[in-house]
């Protein structure tokens, strides 16, 4: 799987260019599935914010990038369905657009649904994460970002990459998300960490990490 881990979505030309390169063809020729599941685990998210993501409304506008087709993949529904029904939907899509919200809730339902187990068999599929949709791929998110507590506790996520992500750096609506607090957060973790703003993405392909940014980012930690 090819990863484009963003803080705020496809917010500038550089990130969009990286997305097109990962897809290997124009956006207009690609099918997308959007995944809103993480929103249901976060106390600040509402049915309205879920609709905004699906409908391509601000802030992320992920479904309004010009895709050939867009569908919705709700992970909490998948355990009640036969795998033979939903797995072909995922295999047939070019890109998964995964919204923010609560990374631990998202990780839980990725495991429960079976999507997490399916990902290694999707080498050509592009994963575009927004905030928690990016953090879910990391080993841990740090206690500062724990809102929903998984059954086993802790702050562990999927660990498909070996670094953690501090999103929305210096965002005007998130006064806690300063570089100083990011440094304190990173000091409590055991792996490298990236603090990134909403104009930044981290691309990971075959283990190679590349930062794509028209904004502010920094590498923290060991």
Q: Residues 14-37: what's their mean pLDDT?
A: 98
Residue 222 has pLDDT above 90, yes or no: no
pLDDT the model gives residue 208? 97
Read off the pLDDT of residues 52-72 as tens digits, 9 standing for 90 and up: 999 999 888 999 999 999 999
**DSSP three-state, residue 124:** coil
**DSSP three-state, residue 208:** strand
| Cα 25–chain centre separation | 22
pLDDT the model gives residue 221? 83
pLDDT the model gives residue 97? 98
| CB-count exposure of residue 123 (10 Å: 0-12, 13-18, 19+) | exposed
Residue 39 has pLDDT above 90, yes or no: yes
Give the span between the Cα atoms of 98 and 67, in whole angstroms.
Answer: 15
Chosen CATH of 2-220 out of 3.40.50.880, 3.40.720.10, 3.30.460.30, 3.30.300.130: 3.40.50.880
Put simply, whether the predicted model's pTM sits higher than 0.95 gets the answer yes
Transcribe 134-153 into DSSP letters. HHTTSSB--GGG--SPPTT-
Residue 106 has pLDDT above 90, yes or no: yes
Domain locations in the chain as residue ranges: 2-220
Read off the pLDDT of residues 153-212 as tens digits, 9 standing for 90 and up: 999 999 999 999 999 999 998 999 999 999 999 999 999 999 999 999 999 999 999 999
Contact call for residues 142 and 163 (beta carbons, < 8 A): no
Give the span between the Cα atoms of 182 and 200, in whole angstroms.
Answer: 16
Give the span between the Cα atoms of 20 and 43, in whole angstroms.
Answer: 33
Give the span between the Cα atoms of 48 and 45, in whole angstroms.
Answer: 8
pLDDT the model gives residue 20? 98
Q: Phi, psi (5° rounding) for residue 143? A: -60, -25
Q: Which of 142, 145, 149, 156 is nearest to 189 (CA)?
A: 142
- Assigned token pair, 90: 């995922």
- Counting residues of the chain whose pLDDT is more than 70, the rounded percentage is 100
pLDDT the model gives residue 60? 87
């Amino acid at each position: 799987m090819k990863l484009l881990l963003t803080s705020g979505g496809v917010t500038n030309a550089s990130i969009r260019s990286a997305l097109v390169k990962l897809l290997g063809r124009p956006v207009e020729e690609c099918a997308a599935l959007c995944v809103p599941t993480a929103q249901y685990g976060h106390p600040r998210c509402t049915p309205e914010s879920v609709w905004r993501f699906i409908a391509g409304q601000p802030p992320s506008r992920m479904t309004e990038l010009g895709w050939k087709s867009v569908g919705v993949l709700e992970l909490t529904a998948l355990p009640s369905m036969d795998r033979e029904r939903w797995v072909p939907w995922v295999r047939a899509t070019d890109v998964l657009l995964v919204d923010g919200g609560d990374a631990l809730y998202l990780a839980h339902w990725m495991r429960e649904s079976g999507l997490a187990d399916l990902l290694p068999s999707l080498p050509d599929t592009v994963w575009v994460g927004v905030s928690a949709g990016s953090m879910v791929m990391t080993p841990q998110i740090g206690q500062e970002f724990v809102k929903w507590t998984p059954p086993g506790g802790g702050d562990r996520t999927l660990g498909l990459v070996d670094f953690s992500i501090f999103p929305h750096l210096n965002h005007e609506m998130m006064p806690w998300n300063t570089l100083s607090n990011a440094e304190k957060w990173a000091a409590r973790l055991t792996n490298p960490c990236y603090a990134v703003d909403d104009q930044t993405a981290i691309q990971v392909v075959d283990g190679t990490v590349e930062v794509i940014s028209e904004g502010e980012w920094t590498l923290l930690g060991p």
